[in-house]
Chain A
Amino acid sequence: MNQKSIIECCKELGCCDACCLRFLGLKSPAAYENPKQYVINALGKQGASVSPALVVQVETVPAGNQTEPAATAPGAVSEPPHAASEPSPAPSEPSPATSEPTPDVSEPFPAASEPTPGASEPPDDANEPPNKKMKVDGVCTTCLGLLQQENWPQCNAMVKTMLDKKRYECETFACALSAPVAALLRERVVALRLRDACANYDDGALTPLKEAWKWSFGAQLARHVGLALDSGAVSPLLVTLHMEYLEEAGELEALRRLAPELFARRSASQRFAVEFTRRAHAPLYLGGRYVKLSRTLPQTPWLVNGRRMLHSSVQELICAPIAALYRLDAEDAEHRLKFMSAGREDVDVRCLGDGRPFAIEITDPTRQPSEAELQQLCAQISAGGQVLVRRLVPVSREHLALLKKGEETKCKTYEALCIKLSHAADEQLPPAAPVRVTERDLQRVNAYSNCAGARVLLQQRTPIRVLHRRPLHVRPRRILALSAHAVPAQPQLLLLRLRTDAGLYVKEWAHGELGRTRPALADALQARVDILALDVAEVDLAWP
């Protein structure tokens, strides 16, 4: 079996030079940078090219640190790129590259034998030099033009435009191809034909389209965009080109008829695989802790019927400087910055001490911020005086699980300012006498315990304030430590320090919530009591 007969056979079937090399099983990247030369050498003459009516669409999707450019390969009809944030232009006219189906492929590919509407007229290129016409028309029957350099400029331009727009700051890139399934089907048909035509043809040696594409298209794309091509495992920037073939559905119809169930399953799982791939390229995560000093600041924007109730939020104060650093406009910031935290506090509760652990997910970041920039972000966030962030550090995706886990398991220390509203049960005082916190009251709270292993075990019904959106349950929660202190110059007030299980509603314990939390602070104090102010003093979680 010789190379010449394989190439001739491929050429007869309408393969491009690069596909000929693929069917030869050639695995040398250098050969794919100039496949034409290789074919000429092997053949001594150039084979005739033929082309089916085909359409290729290209989209580039970046990964990890990356971007989502889209390009259209000039097969025949170009489709608009689909970058979500941009207005989609109307599909462009069929390009002059639109070609007629070749009789050769009409047999193996019945669907392709019907000319695309609007593509049936041969292009008016009578003035073109014949060799140029040959190039334009000769879309490969196997790779659908993906490996043909005359189709590359448009892809190059699109990738370049997108990279310029996204301003990634890195020196390398990896590129990946999402090719039409029809290309696989066509490849298989050619391989079968080769097996018939050439004795001992080994179709197992076939070089995969994606490899050949990387060696040929990828290598020249690197020169075009001025970045070094690297492996996807190494480079933080992955450019994915999604090539769509407009006749795909029709061409795959035979497969669908052959095994409808398998076909449906494959289609579904493939869609999933694509999505999963996109997500697997982890965005950048910054971890830190925030101190909240305002009693009129919600953690996240507080909207009622789409109207905001308060001027800002912890989330917005933290995200704004990050959005500015990455030059994201408001809409971009909303999509690409995600705020996560280990629990939350009420609008009117401050969070002091080391603050509450949080993380920001930055989707598609252009680069890692420098140490100096992180410090500057902290300074900018803290400048307003409502929220303080002392340190921001990059954290891993795995690390993030700590935040959510911490939400369920972490203990918290609170300070609560309370007011005694009635005389204690054992105080022998006339009803009109002023209510005062006595040494005895403090002792009573400090000595109070209703369970072993902790100070207080509460049965807490879902508070009314969240009952509209949470199920009604009675939850056991523990107060692990509790101490009461007098407040100087405020005889009716008492200051409590307490450490609790995660998920204990401190305010509801302090005022008892109409008896829905039992026992309540009143049971320890033996007098009616209410809460005036609450601070989170410490959130027990090693973070970041």
Chain B
Amino acid sequence: METPTEFKILDSIPDLNNLKSFTDRYFSKRYITDIDGIKNNDIMIMFHSNRIALLSLAPSHFFFNKDQEYKLNFTVGKVDRLRNAVKGKSKKGGQLLNPKSVVCKIEYKDGTSFDVPCGMKGTLIEVNEELVNQPELLKQYPDADGYIAIILSSIAISEATKSELLTHDEYLEVLNRCETKDLE
């Protein structure tokens, strides 16, 4: 029988020209554009194959065009999203979210702000606390370390939401159409 010392990890080097990021490897991205009729109020929800969803801002969000210092505020009304806690396998006790629920506010130095809605029904598992200390992550890596929250929903809801929302290709198409319209 062969001795396994013959097997080296170096025989597993993949094609380095076609590498995918962590989120692209394990998640499929979905988008909602112009939420509440606000132009480019666009969010991105990344679904893991196990139905867990990550909430973030879509690259087309107006946030990315505004160059001003900002902070994330996870206190929404009386609810502090930072105090969300879940217990056990079934994640009992997590804050309940519906598509309109505001997960956080982004507050600019000039006093203006905007809300980030959840976009789907589910239970809040955790928010990205690191954004409080390093708000720039949201701008630098919106589809990685700058994610806003982790949401868990039932298989049925996650499947339904996934099929309802824009896929990446559909999203690009929508953006394209808007651009053309703007030019006209």
Contacts and interface: CB of A to CB of B under 8 A. Distances in A.
Contacts of A352: 4-5, 7
Nearest to B2: A388
Contact of A415 (B9, B14, B128, B145): B9
Interface of A: 291, 293, 295, 350, 352-355, 378, 382, 388, 390, 415-417, 419, 461, 464-472, 487-488, 490, 492-493, 495, 511-515, 530, 532-535
B112 interface: no
Contact of B22 (A350, A378, A487, A513): A513
Nearest to A353: B4
A493 B10 CA distance: 10
17 contacts: A352-B7, A382-B1, A388-B4, A417-B9, A419-B16, A464-B26, A464-B54, A465-B50, A467-B125, A468-B51, A468-B52, A471-B86, A471-B91, A488-B10, A490-B13, A492-B16, A534-B9
Contact of A468 (B4, B7, B50): B50
A495 B10 contact: yes
Interface of B: 1-2, 4-5, 7, 9-10, 12-14, 16, 19, 21-23, 26, 48, 50-52, 54, 86-89, 91, 125-126, 128, 130, 137, 144-145, 147, 150, 152
Given A490-B13, A530-B19, 15 more contacts: A350-B7, A417-B12, A417-B13, A468-B51, A468-B52, A469-B50, A469-B89, A487-B10, A495-B9, A512-B145, A515-B130, A515-B137, A532-B12, A532-B13, A533-B12
Contacts of B88: 471
Nearest to B53: A464
B3 to A, nearest CB: 10
Q: 9 smallest A-B Cβ distances: which pairs? A: A533-B12, A468-B50, A415-B9, A352-B4, A515-B145, A535-B9, A291-B4, A417-B9, A511-B22
A106 to B, nearest CB: 59
Contact of B14 (A291, A350, A533): A533
A468 to B, nearest CB: 4
A488 B144 CA distance: 30
A467 B52 contact: yes
Contacts of B13: 417, 487, 490, 493, 532-533
B22 A533 contact: no
A513 to B, nearest CB: 7
A417 B10 contact: yes
B148 to A, nearest CB: 11
Residue with the highest number of chain B CB atoms closer than 10 Å, among A295, A471, A513:
A471
Contacts of A417: 9-10, 12-13
A464 B48 CA distance: 8
A467 B52 CA distance: 8
Contacts of B152: 467-468
A415 B13 CA distance: 13
Contacts of A533: 9, 12-14
Contacts of A535: 7, 9, 12
B147 A514 contact: yes
B26 A514 contact: no
Contacts, number: 96
B144 A514 contact: yes
Contacts of A469: 50, 89
A281 B1 CA distance: 36
A120 B27 CA distance: 73
A293 B6 CA distance: 11
A354 B7 CA distance: 12
A355 B5 CA distance: 11
Residue with the highest number of chain B CB atoms closer than 10 Å, among A419, A495, A513, A515:
A515
A492 B13 CA distance: 12
Nearest to A355: B4
B129 to A, nearest CB: 9
Contacts of A468: 50-52, 152
Given A464-B48, A467-B52, A515-B128, A390 B89 contact: no
Contacts of A353: 4
Nearest to B86: A472
A390 B1 contact: yes
A471 B90 CA distance: 7
Contacts of B7: 293, 350, 352, 535
Contacts of B137: 515
B46 to A, nearest CB: 10
Contacts of B91: 471-472
A532 B14 contact: yes
A499 B87 CA distance: 31
A347 to B, nearest CB: 12
B89 A471 contact: yes
A464 B4 contact: no
Contacts of B2: 388
A293 to B, nearest CB: 6
A464 B89 contact: no
Given A352-B4, A464-B52, A467-B152, A514 B145 contact: yes
A493 B19 CA distance: 13
B123 to A, nearest CB: 11
